[in-house]
C-alpha cells in the first residue's frame, strides 16, 4: 500500500504540507501517479500530462521530477481526471484515468467525482476510507503514443522592451506586451520604493 517511494501516511503528510489540505482528488492522484510509474515504458526521462488543472497536477509535482515551472508537467484543458507519463524522446507513454465503471463498487467516491452531492452532504471520512480501500482498483490504464509538440510549453523566444510598461516581454506577442494590450488584471498600479538591503 505504498505510493511511489512513500508509505500511504507519508504521502498524506506531503499532500497536507504542499497542497494545504487533504483533498480527495489528490489522494486518488497519488494512486494514479503510482500506477503510472509501475507501468512506465522503458526510457530514462519522462514528462507528465495532467488532463485537469484541479488537484492532480500537485500529485505529479509531489511524486515526480515534473513541475509546472520546469516545463516537464503540462496541463491540458480536457477536464478528464487522468494523468499520462511519457518518454520525452520517443513519446511512448502510459495513461491512467479514473474509471467510472469501476467506481460503482465505491459509491461515495463515485458521487464525489460525479458531483452528485453538495459538499455539506458528503461523508468525508467514508469518502477517504473508500478511496484508500479502492486504491488502484478504481483506475484504468492505457498505453498511449504522445505527440509531445501538442502538449509541451512553447519557447518564449526573443524578448524586447514594452513601450508602455517598459518591461521585457516576448516579441512574438506584438508591439506591446499582452498586459498592456488590454489583458491586464491590475488597476491602481502604484510604484513602491525598495529599501536597499
Q: Is 43 in the site for its own copies (CB under 8 A)?
A: no
Total residue count of the chain as it appears in this document: 197
Q: How far is CA 58 from CA 81, 97, 129, 153, 154, in A?
A: 13, 16, 21, 18, 22
129 binds its own copies (CB under 8 A): no
Q: Which is nearer to its own copies, 40 or 126 (CB)?
A: 40
Asked if 122 is part of the footprint of its own copies (rule: CB under 8 A), the reply reads no
Query: Taking CB under 8 A as the rule, does residue 22 contact its own copies?
Result: no
Residue selected from 5, 153, 163, 164 as contacting its own copies according to rule CB under 8 A? 153
Contact 48, 72 (CB under 8 A): yes
Q: Which of 161, 164, 174, 175 is close enough to bind its own copies by CB under 8 A?
A: 161
Judged by CB under 8 A, the residue of 9, 114, 117, 163 near its own copies is: 114
Distance of alpha carbon 132 from alpha carbon 8, whole angstroms: 9
**What does the block give as the cell for 27?**
489522494
Tell me whether residue 82 or residue 131 sits nearer to its own copies (CB atom): 82
Among 181, 189, 137, 188, smallest CA distance to 162 is for 181
- Number of residues binding to its own copies, judged by CB under 8 A: 90
Task: Identify which of residues 123 and 167 has a Cβ nearer to its own copies in the complex.
Answer: 167
Q: How far apart are CA 73 and CA 69, in angstroms?
A: 8
Q: Is residue 120 at the binding interface for its own copies, with CB under 8 A as the rule?
A: no
**Contact with its own copies (CB under 8 A): which of 143, 163, 164, 174?**
143
Binding residues among 47-106 for its own copies as defined by CB under 8 A:
49, 51-59, 61, 65, 67-72, 75-82, 84, 93-95, 97-98, 100-101
C-alpha torsion 18→44→33→78, nearest 10: 90
- Locate 18 and state its grid cell: 504542499
How far apart (Å, rounded) are the C-alpha atoms in residues 127 and 186? 40
From 5-13, 15-23, 119-127, give the range in contact with its own copies by CB under 8 A: 15-23
Give the residue, chosen from 9, 104, 167, 175, that forms a contact with its own copies under the rule CB under 8 A: 167
Amino acid at each position: 500500500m505504498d505510493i511511489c517511494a512513500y508509505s500511504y501516511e507519508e504521502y498524506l503528510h506531503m499532500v497536507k504540507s504542499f497542497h494545504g489540505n487533504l483533498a480527495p482528488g489528490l489522494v486518488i492522484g497519488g494512486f494514479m501517479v503510482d500506477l503510472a510509474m509501475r507501468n512506465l515504458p522503458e526510457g530514462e526521462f519522462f514528462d507528465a500530462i495532467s488532463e485537469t488543472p484541479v488537484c492532480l497536477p500537485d500529485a505529479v509535482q509531489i511524486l515526480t521530477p515534473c513541475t509546472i515551472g520546469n516545463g516537464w508537467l503540462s496541463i491540458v484543458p480536457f477536464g478528464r481526471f487522468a494523468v499520462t507519463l511519457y518518454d520525452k524522446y520517443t513519446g511512448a507513454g502510459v495513461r491512467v484515468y479514473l474509471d467510472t465503471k469501476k467506481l460503482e463498487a465505491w459509491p461515495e467516491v463515485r458521487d464525489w467525482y460525479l458531483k452528485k452531492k453538495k459538499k455539506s452532504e458528503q461523508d468525508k471520512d467514508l469518502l477517504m476510507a473508500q478511496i484508500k480501500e479502492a486504491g488502484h482498483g478504481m483506475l484504468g490504464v492505457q498505453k498511449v503514443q504522445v505527440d509531445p509538440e501538442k502538449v509541451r510549453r512553447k519557447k518564449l523566444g526573443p524578448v524586447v522592451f514594452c513601450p508602455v510598461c517598459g518591461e521585457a516581454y516576448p516579441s512574438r506577442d506584438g508591439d506591446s506586451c499582452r498586459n498592456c494590450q488590454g489583458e491586464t488584471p491590475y488597476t491602481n498600479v502604484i510604484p513602491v520604493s525598495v529599501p536597499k538591503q
